[in-house]
Amino acid sequence: MTGISLFERISVWMEVEILSRLTPRDGVGPVFKWIFKIPILFYRLGLGWVLAGRFLLLTTTGRRTGKPRRTPLEFVHDPQQGAYRVAPGWGANTDWYKNILHDPRVTVRVGRNRFAAIAEPAPNEESARFLWNASRRHPAMDRIWNRWTDRPVDGTWESYLYAARSFPSVWLTPVKK
C-alpha cells in the first residue's frame, strides 16, 4: 500500500469498522445520524476549510417539503472535469439521493467555496469502476459493499457491476455562470 498516508489508512479503517459493524443495515440510526452531521457544524462555524479535502456540504431541495436539506458527504474531485463525485450509502436509500433524483439542482460547499451545481447519476459501469478502484486501494472496502448488496462482492468485475446498483455514483458539476 505504498502512496497511502497514515491519515488515509486510519480514516478508511474507521469508516469500514463503523459502516460494516456498527451502523444498522436499514439506515443510519439516530446516534450515527447525529455523528455523521457533525461536519455541518464545522461549515456553520466557518470552519469548512478544515474539512475541504474530505467532506463537502451538499444542499438539496426536499422532495416532499421543498425545504433546503444539508448533507455532508465524502467526495472525490476530478479536476479535469471540475466535478465532484459522491455516492450514497445504505443501498441508495438515502434522502439526499432521492432528493437529487427529484430535483438535480443543488448547492455545494467545499471549504470556503460555494457554487450551484447539477447532480447527475453516473452510469453503472462508471460506478462499478469507482468501487473496483476503491477496493484495489483499500481491500477492506469490500466489507462495506457486501453489507448492502444481496450478492457478495467477490473481486470479479461482474460482482462490482452488480454492487454498483446499490452504490451509484453521482457527479456534482458546477453550473457555469
User: ∠ CA(59), CA(62), CA(66), 5° rounding?
Assistant: 110
| pTM summary value | 0.78
pLDDT of residue 21: 64
Nearest-angstrom CA–CA distance, 153 and 150? 9
> Domains of the chain by range and CATH?
6-174 (2.30.110.10)
pLDDT of residue 19: 67
pLDDT of residue 26: 64
User: ∠ CA(6), CA(9), CA(12), 5° rounding?
Assistant: 145
pLDDT of residue 16: 65
pLDDT of residue 22: 62
pLDDT of residue 88: 84
Residue 92 three-state SS: helix
pLDDT of residue 41: 80
pLDDT of residue 3: 73
pLDDT digits (tens, 9 = 90+) for 10-56: 776 677 676 666 666 666 666 666 677 778 787 788 877 777 777 89
Paired with 121 in beta bridges are 170
Q: How is residue 31 written as a grid cell?
A: 446516534
- Residues of the chain falling short of pLDDT 70: 1-2, 7-8, 12-13, 16, 18-34, 90-91
pLDDT of residue 167: 86
CB atoms within 10 A of CB 63: 14
| DSSP assignment letter at 41 | H
75 and 84 Cβ atoms separated by less than 8 Å: yes
pLDDT of residue 127: 93
pLDDT of residue 108: 97
